[in-house]
A and B are shown apart, each in its own frame.
Chain A
Amino acid sequence: MGERPRLSQGIVVDELGKTFGSGRRGSARVDAVAGISFHIEPGERCAFIGPNGAGKSTSIKMLTGILRPTSGTATVLGLVPWEQRLTLARRIGTLFGQRSQLWFQLTPRRTYALLASMYGVPGSDRDARLASLGELLDATHLYDRPVRTLSLGERMRCELVASLLHEPEILFLDEPTIGLDLVAKTRFRDLIVRINEEQGTTIFLTSHDVSDIERVANRVIIINHGRIVFDDSVQMLRQSLLKRKLIGVRFEEAVPTLRVSGAAVLTHDGAVAQLEVNTEESPIRSVLDALLEQYPVADISVEDPPLEEIVSHMYERRP
């Protein structure tokens, strides 16, 4: 196994906090982020999620150097973002779903020329990267159309090209799929994963769309009321929280009444039913044994509850 990358080259956050407003002379004091800590190593795909007002965007803005924290420290690629913003900017890429980095009056190609000059990407490298990114994102044909004439999906692909033009080591994505249709979302998620796998780019993603987390991330940090309430893998989020399993069952013939010890019947319609089991109270195996003994089962499946439901449950928790 190769040597693990140094932690300082990833994202290191220690008791980072941000308070808006002084609280003096009647001005509101808002603790947007209240002392969060986490480490993200290079190459990780981390989803940073939480309900509205949880402190996600504020955290991203501190990690990219736009906002100065009121407490704590952080380093990104070994740099203090708010002290070394311009140096850091050369090494990270950002994509804000609600804010465009393209100039609407220009074509993407003109914007890329300007961005490449800011990032110090030589003309030959720029053209080569535009060609490869255009192929990867199927965006080459969009380069010479004015941005204002692009659809949202097309524009987001062009935004991603702009974010990746300088080959960033970390890509910060803030609600990147907002407003996209299902096909565009799926495609966009696949692209992010591909960029991570092929180029080793670290992905730091915030989103309200649980599918973004499922498809893109291998780690989830949940923030609520400015504090971290969960930090583990997506799999662990499913397994360790809500000890609840859903059993889907199809019987060989219609069953008039359905009653299984240790399980609650959620739905029952003749030969098809869905049951819920709290595995802390009843082992799933005993429930399945009882079901198979009592009824003529034709097909059976055991599933975790949808991630969306788990996340909603997490959001309701106070830190």
Chain B
Amino acid sequence: MNAYGIAFLTGARRTLAARGDLSTQVGMMLLVILALSSVWHAATAAHGGHIGGYSFGELVWYITFAEACTVPVPARAIEDIGEEIGSGEVAVAMLRPASVVGIRMAIDGGAALARQWCCLLAGGAFAWILAGPPPSGLSAILAVGASFLSLLLSIALQHALGGIAFWLKDARSTWFLFQKLILIGGGVLIPLNLLPHAVAAFFIPLPFAAIAYVPGSFAAGHGSIALVLEQCCWLIVGMGAAFLVFARGERRLEVLGG
């Protein structure tokens, strides 16, 4: 296995070893699913069992996958990346014969994937109890695939944004903006196509939708080939941006002193 594969496994092992953190994250996610399910239960009941074409069960499965795509990637990862660059810590990684961003993304990817599987297993079981089986077996399988791509996209975007610290020496404010954009523009709380048409038309083509809305839509049985293509395109853009930012940034790194 090459260095990136071992880095990926190392990240996964690290997550699974920290059982306390993992349990807390999964527990919090279940609480959020329970709270949002209660809201959607009331909303769908008030509208004759469906709202905007979604049944209560579909909405529960939507929320479960949207949450399982956002909870596993630490919100402050951008700040950590920026801190490593701003403090010069990245210099140590540059002394290794491997891509700095590649190894970093592999470790983060392994850690996030381990968390995501735990979230999907626990969240899936919880959603099943709350709302019955997923609307479609095939959609559920596609949703799992979309969730993996979503994770990669999220990590790539975080590295691209964190890499700004090569120029600005600081990426602290970016993580907050990124998190809120995923929460609102990604459709974590509400499927984007339930928003007013103009708002939905604005957010759906953006990468934040590819992180939460796309896997959620597949889980709810509302996925489409166009959404998969959108997600793949953003993944290519995100990965390209991350590698480009680090390649350019490493060439202009300025670390003064020891």
Contacts and interface: CB of A to CB of B under 8 A. Distances in A.
A61 B98 CA distance: 17
Given A68-B251, A86-B97, A87-B97, A118 B258 contact: no
Given A66-B91, A89-B95, A20 B7 contact: no
A115 B92 CA distance: 12
Interface stretch (A90-98, A187-195, A255-263): A90-98
B2 interface: yes
Interface in B68-115: 88-89, 91-92, 94-98, 103
Interface in A22-75: 30, 32, 53, 56-58, 61, 64-68
A56 B258 CA distance: 8
A20 B10 contact: no
A22 to B, nearest CB: 11
B244 interface: no
Interface stretch (A99-107, A287-295, A302-310): A99-107
A101 B90 CA distance: 10
A243 interface: no
A160 to B, nearest CB: 15
Interface in B220-258: 251-258
Given A66-B255, A114-B3, A94 B95 contact: yes
A85 interface: yes
Interface residues of A, number: 38
Interface in A111-125: 113-115, 117-120
Contacts of B180: none
Given A86-B97, A118-B96, A57 B257 contact: yes
Contacts of B94: 65-66, 85
A106 B10 contact: yes
Contacts of A103: 10, 14
Given A20-B256, A53-B257, A174-B258, A66 B95 contact: yes
Interface string A142-182: 00000000000000000000000000000000110000000
A110 interface: yes
B253 to A, nearest CB: 7
A87 B95 CA distance: 10
Contacts of A30: 256
User: What does DSSP make chain A's interface, helix, strand, loop or mixed?
Assistant: mixed
Contacts of A85: 94
Nearest to B252: A68
B11 to A, nearest CB: 10
Nearest to B98: A118
A89 B97 contact: yes
A23 to B, nearest CB: 14
Contacts of B125: none
Contact of B10 (A53, A96, A114): A114
B129 interface: no
A43 to B, nearest CB: 22
Nearest to B13: A110
Contact of A114 (B6, B89, B253): B6
B1 interface: yes
29 contacts: A20-B256, A30-B256, A32-B256, A53-B257, A56-B258, A58-B256, A58-B257, A61-B255, A66-B91, A66-B94, A66-B255, A67-B253, A67-B254, A89-B95, A89-B96, A90-B97, A94-B95, A96-B258, A100-B92, A101-B96, A105-B17, A110-B10, A110-B13, A113-B10, A115-B96, A117-B6, A118-B96, A118-B98, A119-B96
Given A87-B97, A174-B258, 12 more contacts: A20-B254, A57-B257, A61-B255, A68-B252, A99-B92, A101-B92, A105-B17, A113-B10, A114-B6, A114-B10, A118-B97, A175-B258
Interface of B: 1-3, 5-7, 10, 13-14, 17-18, 88-89, 91-92, 94-98, 103, 251-258
7 closest pairs, A vs B, by CB? A89-B97, A57-B258, A117-B3, A118-B3, A118-B98, A117-B6, A90-B97
